[in-house]
Amino acid sequence: MLKQMEGSRAVAEAVALCRPEVICAYPISPQTHIVEALGEMVKDGSLAPCEFINVESEFAAMSVAIGASAAGARSYTATASQGLLYMVEAVYNASGLGLPIVMTIANRAIGAPINIWNDHSDALSQRDSGWIQLFAETNQEALDLHIQAFKLAEELSLPIMVCMDGFILTHAYERVDMPTQAQVDAYLPKYEPRQMLDPNEPVSIGAMVGPEAFMEVRYLAHARQMQALERIPQLAEEFATVFGRDSGGLIHTYRAEDAETMVIAMGSVLGTIKDTVDAMRDAGHKIGVLGITSFRPFPHVAVAAALKHCQRFVVLEKSLAVGGGGIVATDVRMAVTGMGLKGHTVIAGLGGRAITVKSLTALFERACRGDLELMTFLDLDWNAVNKQLEREKAHRRTGPVAEALLRDVGVVASRNY
């Protein structure tokens, strides 16, 4: 059924259709609307049976989910940014124990400086946590990926983060096609836990494992993510059969035929990129798009295949490995090792910085011309940065960088301080 609704609401309704049994909630923008909506559904009885637990922290949220999942309940939570970092220890634990928890990440920057706007720093900080990470481009995809995520997680006994851009998606009102309960029930079987806390068949879960077996445990986790590489496209196909639309999968390409330049990105920015590419195609540029849906497991083979015919690629990512460079770009480069492609990393949109068609057009044109540097910070205020760098050269200590920068860029309020 087509509906016009906020992204958060759409995700909440989709999660509810998946019949979660335990939901743990802790407020943090921009995911809050999702759990608020779910909380209301549990409270008014429309989502039942389900336990909705207002926990005292994200650490507890993930921990409650761990307990619930281990006891055989389909478990869900959502978080973002600092909240994700606060639960990190439990995040690793959930995957280590192989518990199929589904968690929405309403992607947001992490501080300091504290910043509530969108980028991918939060989710990408957890790229090695052992969780599957799926990135949604649209609210429709976000909704669909949750349904697929429960199925995949429970099949493989692995937890999954469904990542959607904070505010850009979560707070955006868009038209979505909301599936029916019957459709979801037809697609998503009942949760049959691989292992469970059960007095009739007692086991000890979470043993201490020493050097004699730890590497094997880790390898097996890796092997399961490799299995996911096979299952994710299959599940997308099955999804299309039941729901009548393409959603999910490992990657998507857009106008990639005969493209010499490929732009690679994750999440909602793909929409802007596609608009830009459309215009550039009209102007005669051979440029295409590769959207990565599954960041973990990383689809090396699929990415390499998608880039097989291009000459260069530009990875535009909303994350920065400080002191290193791109994060997604590193994985893409790994995937195309030996293919002789020229690769560019573009760091863009950190902390909610707008990514405009204008800037992208200029950027991609430079790339097509072969003028683009290996590493670019899109729309960086070089004036402010350089001033600070000079100051720092002159004085060993200059006070908090953030404040100094704000002063330079002329944020009014900070002038008084």
Partner 1 sequence: MDKPFAITLNPGSSLANRTGSWRTFRPEYVDRLPPCNAACPAGENIQGWLFHAESGDYEKAWRALTENNPLPAIMGRVCYHPCEGGCNRQYVDSSVGINSVERFLGDEAIKRGWQFDAPAAASGKRVLVVGSGPAGLSAAYQLTRMGHKAVIYEAGPLAGGMMRFGIPKYRLPRDVLDAEIKRLLDFGVEIHLQTKVSNVLEAMQDGFDAVFLGVGAHIAKRAYIPAGDANKVLDAVAVLRGMEGESAPMLGRKVVVYGGGNTALDVARTAKRLGAEEAIIVYRRTREKMPAHDFEVEEALQEGISIKWLSTIKEAGESDIMVEKMALDDKGFPQPTGEFERIEADSVVLALGQDADLSLLENVPGLVVDKGLIQVDAGMMTGHPGVFAGGDMAGNERTVTVAVGHGKKAARAIDAWLRGETYAPLPKHELATFERMNAWYYSDAPKTVRPVLDIIRRQSTFEEVLGGLDEGNALFEARRCMSCGNCFECDNCYGVCPDNAVIKLGPGKRFKFNFDYCKGCGVCVAECPCGAIRMVPEEN
Partner 2 sequence: MSFQPVKFYQTGTFTVGNRLLPPEERSVQASSKRFNSINSGHRACQGCGEALGARYAIDAAMEATDGQLIAANATGCLEVFSTPYPETSWQIPWIHSLFGNTAAVATGIAAALKVKGKAQIRVVAQGGDGGTTDIGFGCLSGMFERNDDVLYICYDNGGYMNTGVQRSSATPAAARTSTTPAVGAEPGNVFDQGKFLPAIALAHDIPYVATATVADLRDLEAKVRRAMEIRGARYIHILVPCPLGWGTASHDTIRMARLAKETGIFPVFEAEHGEIKSVLAIRRPLPVEEYLKPQKRYAHLFGKQPRVDVIAHLQAQADRNIRRYGLQARKESH
Site string for partner 2, 201-240 (x = CB under 8 A): xxxxxxxxxx-xx---------------------------
Cα angle value 313/319/324 (rounded, 5°): 80
Residue 190 found at the interface with partner 1 (CB under 8 A): no
User: What is the spatial distance between Cα 211 and Cα 295, in angstroms, rounded to a whole number?
Assistant: 29
Which residue in this structure is represented by tokens 């300091």?
112
Quick one: 198 or 390, whose CB is closer to partner 1?
198
Burial of 204 (0-12, 13-18, 19+ CB in 10 A): exposed
Q: Are 97 and 197 in contact (CB under 8 A)?
A: no
- Token pair, residue 200, equals 């009739």
CA–CA separation, 123 vs 114, rounded Å? Answer: 16
Nearest-CA neighbor of 141 among 233, 47, 246? Answer: 246
Q: Does 189 bind partner 2 (CB under 8 A)?
A: no
Task: Give the closest residue to 137 by CA, choosing from 286, 327, 264, 9.
Answer: 264
Which amino acid type is present at position 109? A
Piece in contact with partner 1 (CB under 8 A), picked from 201-209, 245-253, 258-266, 393-401: 201-209
> CB-wise, 160 or 346, nearer to partner 1?
160
Q: Does residue number 199 form part of the binding site for partner 1 (CB under 8 A)?
A: no
Check binding of 207 to partner 1 (CB under 8 A). Answer: yes
d(CA 178, CA 188): 15
What angle (nearest 5°) sits at the alpha carbon of residue 192, between those of residues 129 and 94?
A: 20
Q: Is 205 near partner 1 (CB under 8 A)?
A: yes
Binding mask 92-111 for partner 1 (x = CB under 8 A): ----xxx-------------
When binding is defined by CB under 8 A, the residue of 29, 97, 333, 408 that contacts partner 2 is: 97
Residue 223 in the binding site for partner 1 (CB under 8 A) = no
Instruction: Return the CA Rg of the chain.
Output: 22
Q: Which does 63 bind (CB under 5 to 8 A by kind): partner 1, partner 2, none?
A: partner 2
Which of partner 1, partner 2, none has residue 269 at its interface (CB below 5 to 8 Å by kind)?
none
Q: Which of 8, 69, 121, 272 binds partner 2 (CB under 8 A)?
A: 69
* 129: alpha, beta or left? (left if phi > 0; alpha if psi -120 to 50): alpha
Q: Which stretch binds partner 1 (CB under 8 A): 215-223, 251-259, 283-291, 300-308?
A: 215-223
* Measured CA distances, 10 to 6, 120, 162 (Å): 6, 21, 13
26 contacts: CB under 8 Å, gap ≥ 6: 35, 54, 55, 56, 57, 58, 60, 61, 77, 79, 83
Q: Which is nearer to partner 2, 96 or 351 (CB)?
A: 96
**Position 51 contacts partner 2 (CB under 8 A):** yes
Q: Which stretch binds partner 2 (CB under 8 A): 30-38, 51-59, 309-317, 321-329?
A: 51-59
- Min dist CB 73 to partner 2, Å, is 3
Closer by beta carbon to partner 2, 24 or else 106: 24
Q: What mask, x for binding partner 2 by CB under 8 A, covers residues 6 to 25? A: ---------------xx-x-
CB 100 within 8 A of CB 196: no
Nearest approach, Cβ of 189 to partner 2 (angstroms)?
16
Site for partner 1 in 157-176 (CB under 8 A): 157
112 near partner 2 (CB under 8 A)? no
- In whole angstroms, how close is the CB of 103 to partner 1 at the nearest point? 20
How many residues in the shown chain lie near partner 1 by CB under 8 A?
Answer: 21
**Does 216 engage in binding with partner 1 (CB under 8 A)?**
yes
Q: Does 112 bind partner 1 (CB under 8 A)?
A: no
Centroid of chain to Cα 392: 35
20 burial type by CB count under 10 A (0-12 exposed, 13-18 middle, 19+ buried): buried
Contact between 50 and partner 2 by CB under 8 A: the answer reads: yes
Taking CA 63 as the corner, what is the angle to CA 60 and CA 64, rounded to the nearest 5 degrees? 85
Q: Which does 89 bind (CB under 5 to 8 A by kind): partner 1, partner 2, none?
A: partner 2
Q: Does 88 bind partner 2 (CB under 8 A)?
A: no
Residue with tokens 């969780």: 131
Closer by beta carbon to partner 2, 53 or else 304: 53
305 touching partner 1, by CB under 8 A:
no
Cα dihedral value 21, 25, 31, 34, nearest 10:
40
| Residues that bind partner 2 in the complex, under the rule CB under 8 A | 21-22, 24, 49-51, 53-57, 59-60, 62-73, 75, 89-90, 93, 97, 197-199, 201-210, 212-213
